[in-house]
């Protein structure tokens, strides 16, 4: 039976090994995208706290003065006094403004595409998705088709810089991770290779499983003092066993960004409606639309202890103002709560806490933090990086194992022939 599993394990690895290595490597690079982005461009994200914040409208005007063509779509304010204010500029599709400054490729998670840490005025709308779950949603500032996110010092009004995700190194890594060729074909190749990888991991555990207790000890320990062939064997077999469960989880959650049927399956299993409710509307009324400062003041009274407030002003006379707030005890960074306000009176038309969403949406929203290793913070991210880098090596060590077996097989065959020949 093990011969059968070894054959499946071998040929699927030969077919998909290169893609798996690339996906694992790029995935490892992307785990600490948020932290690396903030470390490399600290001047954008952090400021020296001052005595008094400027009005949000003044910050918006500073952005428009810096770029007269800028069309502001949203603002994100952090409670942390050392954080800059993020002003998201229009320029994307239906996903809303601001793909975000902190990694910004999440754009679509519960219903579609994206991985990263969303952080713009429209991050929750993009992160949780308004579509049916598997279809790619495009919007977002700093995103593939959106405008930049502009950083402003909330105490001085100085424009600190801007972020366009497509121009970053991490976008290139994400393009490789997500689709290899940057097309529908590349996306399919990654998706199919991921399915193969799940089978490879499962058959690998079957092949690893020892027949005796003595063999168990050998397969749990790397023999560091041995030659390179034994080390190669142990790296593949022993380290493969320790990382298999994590790699399986990462690969399984990764299917959500490759196949619509997988997303539909999540909602089917959880018996939840897949279509997310449309934002509420309000009857048009005379008078001016509330500005960012008025909305921020109202929301601060309503939700005083939020980590951040992302405000998205309406584009239509009947649309509502949307505000996403992140609670200090949120289960993950995309588990924000939503409030919709009448754009003239400021009256709350609708509110939805993250906990009130259906089970399918909540399950789907956890896929991104689980997939990136962010679900338990720094410890799970460190594990994710180590496991992804190990995953990069397994196709290589596996190839050497196969070549060594072929070489041994040829030697045995030659010996048999030598014995069989008459002297």
Q: Are residues 195 and 333 in the same domain?
A: no
pLDDT confidence band for 91 (50 / 70 / 90): low
Share of the chain above pLDDT 90, in %: 69
Residues 162 and 111 in one domain: yes
Same domain, 133 and 48: yes
Residue 146 has what pLDDT? 56
285: in domain = yes
For residue 66, the surrounding DSSP H or E stretch is helix 56-66
Domain assignment present for residue 191? The answer is: yes
Helix (H) or strand (E) holding 339: strand 337-341
Q: 174, 34 in Cβ contact below 8 A?
A: no
Q: What is the mean pLDDT of the chain?
A: 85
The sheet carrying 159-163 orders its strands as 159-163, 149-152, 85-89, 72-78, 308-312, 321-326, 337-341, 348-352
Same domain? For 162 and 280 the reply is yes
Phi, psi of 316, deg, nearest 5: -115, 155
Position 263 in a domain: no
Domain assignment of residue 173, yes or no: no
* 105 and 151 part of one domain: yes
**Arithmetic mean of pLDDT, 198-218:** 90
**How far is 405 from 409, CA to CA, in rounded Å?**
6
| The pLDDT of residue 129 | 38
Residue 73 lies in a domain: yes
State residue 143's pLDDT score: 38
What is the domain count for the chain?
Answer: 2
> Within this chain, do residues 344 and 312 fall inside the same structural domain, yes or no?
yes
Region of 103 (left: φ > 0; alpha: ψ -120 to 50; beta: rest) is left
What pLDDT was estimated at residue 217?
Answer: 84
Whether the CB-CB separation of 45 and 84 falls below 8 Å is answered with yes
Question: Bridge-partner residues for 311, per DSSP?
Answer: 75, 323
* 75-79 CB contacts, 8 Å cutoff, 24+ apart: 75/121, 75/292, 75/296, 75/310, 75/311, 76/119, 76/120, 76/121, 76/123, 76/308, 76/309, 76/310, 76/311, 77/154, 77/296, 77/308, 77/309, 77/311, 78/307, 78/308, 79/305, 79/306, 79/307, 79/308
Comparing C-alpha atoms, which of 86, 68, 96 is closest to residue 313?
96
DSSP sequence for 109-140? TTTS---SB-BSTTHHHHHH-SS-SSSPP---
Q: Report the C-alpha gap between 318 and 147 in whole angstroms.
A: 25
Are residue 298 and residue 381 in the same domain, yes or no? no
Are both 189 and 252 inside the same structural domain? Answer: yes
Place of tokens 């595409």: 113
One domain, residues 210 and 340: no
Query: What confidence tier does 287 reach under pLDDT thresholds 50, 70, 90?
Result: confident
Task: Choose the weakest-confidence range: 86-95, 110-119, 172-181.
Answer: 110-119
In degrees rounded to 5, what are phi and psi of residue 136? Answer: -75, 125
Residue written as token pair 């060590």: 397
CA separation for the pair 101, 310 (Å, rounded): 12
Instruction: Please determine, for residue 33, whether its predicted confidence score (pLDDT) is greater than 80.
Output: yes
Confidence category of residue 109, pLDDT binned at 50, 70, 90: very low
Shared domain check, 56 and 190 = no
Q: DSSP per residue over 369-413, as a string?
A: HHHHT-TTSHHHHHHHHHHHHHHHHHHHHHHHHHHHHHHHHHHHH
With a cut of 50, say whether residue 110 has pLDDT above it. Answer: no
The domain of 241 spans 2-27+180-258+376-420
The sign one gets for the Cα dihedral 121, 123, 124, 129 is positive
State the first-to-last Cα distance of the chain, in angstroms, to the nearest integer: 39
Q: List helix spans (H) across 146-259.
A: 169-179, 184-208, 213-218, 228-254
**Which value, to the nearest 10 degrees, does the dihedral of the CA atoms of residues 266, 176, 184, 34 take?**
50
What integer is the mean pLDDT of 137-157? 68
Residue 35 covered by a domain:
no
Nearest-angstrom CA–CA distance, 319 and 312: 11
Label residue 299 by pLDDT band (50, 70, 90). very high
**Pairing between β-strand 159-163 and β-strand 149-152 as defined by DSSP bridges:** antiparallel
Asked whether residue 246 is assigned to any structural domain, the reply reads yes
Residues belonging to the chain: 423
Q: How far is the C-alpha of 364 from the C-alpha of 260, rounded, in Å? A: 12
On whether both 72 and 201 belong to a single domain, the answer is no
Identify the pLDDT of residue 98: 40
Half-sphere exposure of 22 (CA within 13 A, CB side): 18
Please check whether residue 266 lies inside any domain of the structure: no
Contacts of 178 by beta carbon, 8 Å cutoff, 6+ apart: 113, 115, 186, 187, 190, 257
185 shares its domain with 164: no
Tell me the per-residue pLDDT of 301-338, one tens digit each, with 9 for 90 and over: 999 999 999 999 898 888 999 999 999 999 999 899 99
The residue whose two tokens read 């010996």 is 415
């Amino acid at each position: 039976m093990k011969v059968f599993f070894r054959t499946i394990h071998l040929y699927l690895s030969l077919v998909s090994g290169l893609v798996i290595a690339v996906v694992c490597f790029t995935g490892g690079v992307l785990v600490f995208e948020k932290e690396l982005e903030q470390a490399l461009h600290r001047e954008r994200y952090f400021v020296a706290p001052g005595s008094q914040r400027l009005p949000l409208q003044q910050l918006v005007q500073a952005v428009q003065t810096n770029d007269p063509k800028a069309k502001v779509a949203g603002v994100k304010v952090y409670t942390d006094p050392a954080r800059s204010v993020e002003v998201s500029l229009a320029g994307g599709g239906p996903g809303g403004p601001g793909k975000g400054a902190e990694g910004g490729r999440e754009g679509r998670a519960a219903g579609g595409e994206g991985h990263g840490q969303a952080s713009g005025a429209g991050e929750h709308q993009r992160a949780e998705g308004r579509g049916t779950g598997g279809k790619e949603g495009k919007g977002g500032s700093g995103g593939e088709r959106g405008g930049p996110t502009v950083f402003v010092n909330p105490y001085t009004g100085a424009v600190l810089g801007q972020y366009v995700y497509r121009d970053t190194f991490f976008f290139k890594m994400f393009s490789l991770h997500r689709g290899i060729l940057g097309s529908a074909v590349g996306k399919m190749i990654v998706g199919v290779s991921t399915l193969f990888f799940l089978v490879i991991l499962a058959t690998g555990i079957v092949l690893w499983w020892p027949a005796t207790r003595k063999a168990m000890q050998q397969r749990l320990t790397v023999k560091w003092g041995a030659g390179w062939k034994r080390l190669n064997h142990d790296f593949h077999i022993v380290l493969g066993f320790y990382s298999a469960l994590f790699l399986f989880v990462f690969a399984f959650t990764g299917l959500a960004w490759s196949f619509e049927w997988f997303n539909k399956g999540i909602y089917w299993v959880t018996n939840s409606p897949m279509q997310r409710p449309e934002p509420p509307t309000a009857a048009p009324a005379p008078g001016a639309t509330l500005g960012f400062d008025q909305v921020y003041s109202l929301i601060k009274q309503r939700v005083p202890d939020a980590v951040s407030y992302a405000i998205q002003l309406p584009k239509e006379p009947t649309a509502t103002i949307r505000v996403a707030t992140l609670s200090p005890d949120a289960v993950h960074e995309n588990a924000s709560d939503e409030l919709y306000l009448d754009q003239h009176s400021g009256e709350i038309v609708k509110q939805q806490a993250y906990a009130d969403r259906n089970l399918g949406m909540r399950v789907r929203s956890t896929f991104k933090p689980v997939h990136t290793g962010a679900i338990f913070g720094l410890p799970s991210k460190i594990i994710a990086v180590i496991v992804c880098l190990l995953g990069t090596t397994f196709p290589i060590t596996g190839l050497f194992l196969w070549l060594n077996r072929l070489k041994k097989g040829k030697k045995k065959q030659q010996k048999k022939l030598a014995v069989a020949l008459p002297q």
